Chains A and B, each alone.
Chain A
Amino acid sequence: MKNIKLENGIKELKGMVMTHEEKKRIFQNVMDSSSVKIQKPIRSPWMLFLFTNSIFEKRLAYFVIPLIIILTSAGVVFASEGSLPDGLLYPIKVKIVEPIKGAILSSPEAKARYESNLATKRLTEAENLSDKGKLNLSNERKINQLLDNHTEALNKALNDLKKEESREQLDEIMTNFYAQMNAHSRVIEILEEKNDKIDDKINGNQLSNKARMNAENIKSNYKNKEENKESESGDNKNEEKKLEKYNAKRQIVEDLINKTSLNVNKIDKKEFKSEQNIFEDTNETLKKAKDYLEQADIKDKKGDQDEAYNNLIDSEGSIKEAEIFLKTRLKYQESQNEKNH
């Protein structure tokens, strides 16, 4: 849309800038902000007589608080496991139980898997709420915030994993996360459409958009970094190793595609009628996985090993997504049957 007046208008609007002095002053103020120390509040003399104060003062808190938690809340913890965002025990689950479980994991791989699983769990909670017609704005916001926290923690753990040069584990966790986020986002949209809650189909569901965006960020973050790293160290010695890695991964992806294709063919299409959207999405992602595999083969023949491997990763992500669709179909079919009976 070329128009001289529009271009001139934009140019004039872009002329709204800071002066050199203002720019310099703000930069200096930001730098100086780091030297501002937070003042501790003045202690009250009555603090001496408080039991809780003596616990904290003598650093007994490290022993006393976990003990109290264990003794008094074992039942609550157990009960909170299955709670949903609209439940009373949900904050206990997401703010106490899950972070404690995460804190005792030591390896970056375990941490990454844990955070990825938690992100998936958040989306399945949203699915459960949506299935009951209870996914409202407040619940969506809670889940959105938690999704961001899990993605940030996953990103940190993957970064540590990358430093350990555990590329295969990193790829596996990354593709699993990508597939889970995309598949469950779509399922939420389908369930919400059933509830007639997505009026503006262009905008989609905020929660689904957020999950997809997080998945894309994680994928681009690690894929790109690995590409750079590999191209830097790309010499002849590595070629053989890359080919070996490519062939091993290709076998895994091909097996997965065959297995999922078989499962899709076994499905009775009449039975799938009520979940037509999920069926279409399964077929579409399956096709995408096959396309990526073909592209990988073409690039492999051309000798572009890095790109070929990346296509394999994309194919693996898509096929895992299709598998999740199939499993979800079964879950909601059972739930539908229960409702009908």
Chain B
Amino acid sequence: MKSDIKDAFKEIYEKESDSIFRFCLSRISDREQALDITQETFTRLWQSLKEGKEILNYRAYIFTVTRRLIIDWYRKKKSISFRDMESGDDDIPYDPADSQTFSRLIDGAEGRYLMTMMRELPGGEKDPVYLRLVLDLSPGEIGEILGISTNAASVRINRGLSELMKKAGYKKDE
């Protein structure tokens, strides 16, 4: 029984750990901290599985936990006001890394440019667009993570994507 849980956990870890790490790193621009949060996320998943807790959608579960841990990290380290966090805006902040750190994090000019443009998207659209484009999450999963309906998640993805294309100066079929 225990080895079943371990195998299941290992499979999830292999499949999702890079996505979780990427999600953390894009938000806090600090590799060691991103690794810490990734570890904490999977520790919580492992504990829950061991305690026999039923997880209906493990992908939504780990991304939700990661999101909360990032918010906690900002509360402790970055003095982001409680009001900003609870403003109803679904976005969590991005750490404004300096250009050197930023270059170290993303290995490619096109990626850095895209990330900068995504950070400039209006509140409520950054997370859905990032989760869809870079982490390949479905609108249903994004809705579950952000606590909105699938329909609302789809609307935000499409709206955000159009805005991103416009901001970045990308054209369709180019």
Interface residues of A (CB under 8 A from B): 1-6, 8-18, 22-23, 26-27, 29-31, 33-34, 152, 155-156, 159, 202-204, 206, 209-210, 212-213, 217, 221
Against A, the Cβ 8 Å flags (1 = close, 0 = not) of B35-52 are 100110011001100100
Given the complex, which residues of B lie within 8 Å of A152, measured CB to CB?
53-54
CB distance from A221 to the nearest CB of B (A): 6
Given the complex, which residues of A lie within 8 Å of B50, measured CB to CB?
34
B172 in contact (CB, < 8 A): yes
CB distance from A283 to the nearest CB of B (A): 21
The answer to whether B152 and A17 touch across the interface, beta carbons within 8 angstroms, is no
The answer to whether A209 and B149 touch across the interface, beta carbons within 8 angstroms, is yes
The answer to whether A16 and B13 touch across the interface, beta carbons within 8 angstroms, is no
Pick the contact of B17: A4, A18, A155, A209 (CB < 8 A): A18
CB distance from A117 to the nearest CB of B (A): 20
Given the complex, which residues of A lie within 8 Å of B114, measured CB to CB?
6, 9-10, 12-13
Pick the contact of A3: B42, B107, B165 (CB < 8 A): B165
The answer to whether B113 and A9 touch across the interface, beta carbons within 8 angstroms, is yes
B25 in contact (CB, < 8 A): yes
Bound CA span A330–B133, Å: 47
Given the complex, which residues of A lie within 8 Å of B107, measured CB to CB?
12, 15-16
The answer to whether B168 and A202 touch across the interface, beta carbons within 8 angstroms, is no
Given the complex, which residues of A lie within 8 Å of B161, measured CB to CB?
1
Given the complex, which residues of B lie within 8 Å of A33, measured CB to CB?
43, 46-47
Can you offer 16 A-B residue contacts whose CB atoms are under 8 A? A3-B174, A6-B114, A8-B108, A8-B111, A9-B110, A10-B133, A11-B111, A15-B107, A23-B18, A29-B39, A33-B47, A152-B54, A203-B152, A212-B149, A213-B143, A221-B56
Given the complex, which residues of A lie within 8 Å of B17, measured CB to CB?
18, 23, 26-27
Known: A1-B161, A3-B171, A27-B13. A15 touches B111 (CB 8 A): yes
CB distance from B162 to the nearest CB of A (A): 8
- Most chain B CB within 10 A, of A3, A11, A30, A202, is at A30
Known: A13-B115, A204-B152, A209-B148. A2 touches B22 (CB 8 A): no
CB distance from A203 to the nearest CB of B (A): 5
The answer to whether B21 and A17 touch across the interface, beta carbons within 8 angstroms, is yes
Given the complex, which residues of A lie within 8 Å of B106, measured CB to CB?
12-13, 15-16
Pick the contact of A213: B39, B46, B144 (CB < 8 A): B144
Interface of A is mostly: helix
CB distance from B148 to the nearest CB of A (A): 6
B155 in contact (CB, < 8 A): yes
CB distance from B123 to the nearest CB of A (A): 12
The number of residue pairs between A and B whose CB atoms lie closer than 8 Å in the complex comes to 128
Bound CA span A22–B114, Å: 26
Q: 20 other contacts beyond A3-B173, A9-B114, with CB at 8 A cut-off? A: A3-B165, A5-B170, A8-B111, A10-B134, A12-B106, A12-B107, A15-B108, A16-B22, A17-B22, A18-B18, A18-B21, A29-B39, A30-B43, A30-B46, A152-B53, A203-B152, A204-B152, A209-B143, A210-B147, A212-B149
B151 in contact (CB, < 8 A): yes
Closest 10 CB pairs of A and B: A12-B111, A9-B114, A12-B108, A9-B110, A17-B18, A8-B110, A3-B170, A217-B56, A16-B22, A209-B149
Known: A3-B174, A12-B110. A155 touches B56 (CB 8 A): yes
B66 in contact (CB, < 8 A): no
Given the complex, which residues of A lie within 8 Å of B168, measured CB to CB?
5-6
Bound CA span A3–B173, Å: 5
B79 in contact (CB, < 8 A): no
The answer to whether A34 and B46 touch across the interface, beta carbons within 8 angstroms, is yes
The answer to whether A9 and B111 touch across the interface, beta carbons within 8 angstroms, is yes
Bound CA span A338–B129, Å: 48
The answer to whether B147 and A209 touch across the interface, beta carbons within 8 angstroms, is yes
CB distance from A126 to the nearest CB of B (A): 16
